Amino acid sequence: MPSNPSKLHAAFVYYQRLRRVRDYVAQNYSDGVSLKRAAQIASLEEKYFSAYFRQKTGIRFKEWVAEVRITHARAMMKSRNYNITEIAFAVGFRDLRTFERAFKRHTGMTPRAFKNTVRPS
């Protein structure tokens, strides 16, 4: 389920610790982004960071990271003819099934259906 972009943007603009986390995720989304590391960057205890992130942004941290990754996956599908598995791993998902579920949850369509709309065969 996609986030509220205006609330998310406002939180990243207003809260410095969330800006640091946003910048970290922007640089590392294709790697193993963890809640633990994000909490360290925000200088908060892990459980508190999780609640803080959700309260300020309106979305769970894990869901937001998935959104970031899906956004990059969509851009890859539009720009080049990568296969779905390559894209899933390139944006940081560890397995294809998780990528497919997250993609459908965030876009309402499967990765293949989306790819076919932006890059017809």
What residues make up the domain containing 72? 66-118
- Whether 58 and 79 map to the same domain: the answer is no
Domain shared by 72 and 39, yes or no: no
CB 73 within 8 A of CB 111: yes
Whether residue 54 sits in one domain with residue 21: yes
Specify whether 15 is located in the same domain as 56. yes
User: Is there a single domain that holds both residue 22 and residue 35?
Assistant: yes
CATH of the domain at 71: 1.10.10.60
pLDDT of residue 7: 86
The total number of structural domains in the chain stands at: 2
CB-based contacts of 9: which residues, under 8 Å, 6+ apart? Answer: none
Residues 57 and 42 in one domain: yes
b/e 5-44 (16+ beta carbons within 10 angstroms → b): eeebeebbeebebbeebbebbeeebeeebebebbbebbeb
Whether 78 and 110 share a structural domain: yes
Q: pLDDT tens per residue, the chain (121 residues)?
A: 456 778 888 999 999 999 999 999 999 999 989 999 999 999 999 999 999 999 999 999 999 999 999 999 999 999 888 899 999 999 999 999 999 999 999 999 999 999 999 877 6
Full-model pTM: 0.90
Q: Are residues 9 and 54 in the same domain?
A: yes
